[in-house]
């Protein structure tokens, strides 16, 4: 039982990340899978110059022939690998036109093909993916701006000829950000179909470190929100966090846009020249509206009705001109989806806040809504979370 999986999708839509996930999900089940990437083969065969936008111009006949040559060679490599004992060969390329997909089906008649199309319409994520692409070796001799312009032109060429899967015999269309299946032309007699569908649609979190910022002046005074700095103890906690993570790779660190979150992440950075630090407003602490900057005791004394209403229903309570936990859910879920996508499902850290981290945890745990605002979120411990098909880990680790 052998299968070709052909990825489909415009550049920077998350195809390679999904291809890797399919490969490791299958491998974990003892099914041998390998990825055959057109882009890597292109760089190997034709060097960095082939990264220029004109190489992807559909009217450039010479480049077109070279691209077809790459596709053919990649198909041959995939077939040879299956002949030698592999189970699932994943062809990672845009495969964005009906002609290209017809060619794939015609050439690879020896085994069935499943087309897996990746779509992603979030402009922020597209932007982040494009930024990441400009770090490819083929852009090494360009400025960042030149690389961006070049890649955007390449994208426009692809878009000018792209069509979604529809007529092919068996396909799945995946929202690459939400990890959910949008549509499919299923074929239950296809080998590994059910396993692949399960891998595609399951949440995948590989080493998420969820940290709360260190102690602040406001924490000492019991005040809400604001943008206070860390105390000396908070800065010490941040240093200890950095020392604790020495030697652990963290390609991406996400913070909120607040000072306390950025200051907690800062000591991690000097020893990590390649780490990308990204502030995201989705991770800003719950907005306490008219109560921002107040002490809990002030609210009790000056706004007793508000205080009591919150005590009665902490999850549903909306601060006047502010937010509730229930409202946080959507924006935090959007932030988490974006962070996981940007990190390419690799290791990442989020330095959040009390209510934010409670909400993030609630997105993974089967918790009653009413319990969410009471989860313990200390400032000297973090949550280490891994969720793959085979491994579910929730661990609280002390670092200070």
Q: Which residues sit at the interface with ligand F6P, rule CB under 6 A? A: 219, 224-225, 285-286, 288, 353-355, 373
CB nearer ligand F6P, residue 150 or residue 219: 219
Q: Are 116 and 174 in contact (CB under 8 A)?
A: yes
Distance in Å, CB of 382 to ligand F6P, minimum: 16
Dist. CA 386–CA 395, nearest whole Å: 9
DSSP classification of residue 269: S
* Phi, psi (deg, nearest 5) at residue 317: -65, 130
CB nearer ligand F6P, residue 179 or residue 264: 264
Closest CA to 92 of 110, 74, 106: 74
Distance in Å, CB of 377 to ligand F6P, minimum: 8
Q: Are 254 and 360 in contact (CB under 8 A)?
A: no
Q: Are 2 and 111 in contact (CB under 8 A)?
A: yes
Dist. CA 345–CA 179, nearest whole Å: 11
Pick left, alpha or beta for residue 293 (phi over 0 → left; psi -120 to 50 → alpha; otherwise beta). Answer: left
Dist. CA 2–CA 34, nearest whole Å: 12
Distance in Å, CB of 266 to ligand F6P, minimum: 19
CB nearer ligand F6P, residue 8 or residue 238: 238
Q: Three-state SS string across 310-367, please?
A: HHHCCCCCCCCCCCCHHHHHHHHHHHHHHHHHHCCCCCEEEEECHHHHHHHHHHHCCC
Distance in Å, CB of 252 to ligand F6P, minimum: 23
Distance in Å, CB of 331 to ligand F6P, minimum: 15
Three-state secondary-structure class, residue 383? strand
Distance in Å, CB of 224 to ligand F6P, minimum: 4
Distance in Å, CB of 240 to ligand F6P, minimum: 20
CB nearer ligand F6P, residue 89 or residue 355: 355
Distance in Å, CB of 317 to ligand F6P, minimum: 9
What burial letters (b/e) apply to 128-162, b meaning 16+ CB within 10 Å? bbbbebbeeebbeebeeeebbebbeebbebbeeee
CB nearer ligand F6P, residue 299 or residue 336: 299
Dist. CA 362–CA 174, nearest whole Å: 25
CB nearer ligand F6P, residue 226 or residue 251: 226
CB nearer ligand F6P, residue 58 or residue 304: 304
CB nearer ligand F6P, residue 43 or residue 353: 353
Q: Are 181 and 173 in contact (CB under 8 A)?
A: yes
CB nearer ligand F6P, residue 37 or residue 256: 256
Dist. CA 386–CA 393, nearest whole Å: 5
Dist. CA 329–CA 240, nearest whole Å: 30
Distance in Å, CB of 358 to ligand F6P, minimum: 8
Distance in Å, CB of 219 to ligand F6P, minimum: 6
CB nearer ligand F6P, residue 263 or residue 354: 354
Which residue is associated with the tokens 């990649």? 74
Q: Which residues pair with 8 in a beta bridge?
A: 117
């Amino acid at each position: 039982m052998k299968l070709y999986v052909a990825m489909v999708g415009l550049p920077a839509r998350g195809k390679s990340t999904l291809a890797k996930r399919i490969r490791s999900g299958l491998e974990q089940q003892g099914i041998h899978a390998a990825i055959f990437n057109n882009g890597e083969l292109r760089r190997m065969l034709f060097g960095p110059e082939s990264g220029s936008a004109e190489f992807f111009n559909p009217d450039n006949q010479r480049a077109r022939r070279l691209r077809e040559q790459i596709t053919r060679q990649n198909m041959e490599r995939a077939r040879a690998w299956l002949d030698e004992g592999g189970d699932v060969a994943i062809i990672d390329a845009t495969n964005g036109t009906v002609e290209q997909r017809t060619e794939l089906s015609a050439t690879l008649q020896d085994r069935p093909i499943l087309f897996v199309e990746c779509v992603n319409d979030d402009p922020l994520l597209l932007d982040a993916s494009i930024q990441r692409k400009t770090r490819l070796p083929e852009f090494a001799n360009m400025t960042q701006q030149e690389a961006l312009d070049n890649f955007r032109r390449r994208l426009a060429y692809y878009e000018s000829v792209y069509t979604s899967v529809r007529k092919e015999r068996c396909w799945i269309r995946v929202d690459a950000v939400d990890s959910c299946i949008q549509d499919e032309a299923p074929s239950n007699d296809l080998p590994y179909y059910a396993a692949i569908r399960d891998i595609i649609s399951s949440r995948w979190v590989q080493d998420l470190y969820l940290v709360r910022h260190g102690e602040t002046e406001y924490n000492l005074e019991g005040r809400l929100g604001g943008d206070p700095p860390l105390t000396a103890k908070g800065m010490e906690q941040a240093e200890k966090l950095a020392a604790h993570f020495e030697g652990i790779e963290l390609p991406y660190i996400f913070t909120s846009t607040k000072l306390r979150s950025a200051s907690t992440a800062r000591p991690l950075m000097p020893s990590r020249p390649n780490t990308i630090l990204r502030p995201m407003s989705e991770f800003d602490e719950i907005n306490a509206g008219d109560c921002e900057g107040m002490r809990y005791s002030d609210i009790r004394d000056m706004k007793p009705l508000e205080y009591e209403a919150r005590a009665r229903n902490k999850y549903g309570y909306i601060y006047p001109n502010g937010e509730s936990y229930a409202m946080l859910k959507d924006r935090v879920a959007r932030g988490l989806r974006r962070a996981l996508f940007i990190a390419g499902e690799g290791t990442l850290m989020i330095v959040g806040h009390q209510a934010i981290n409670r909400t993030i945890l609630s997105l993974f745990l089967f918790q009653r809504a009413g319990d969410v605002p009471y989860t313990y979120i200390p400032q000297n411990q973090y949550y280490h979370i891994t969720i793959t098909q085979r491994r579910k880990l929730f661990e609280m680790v002390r670092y200070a």
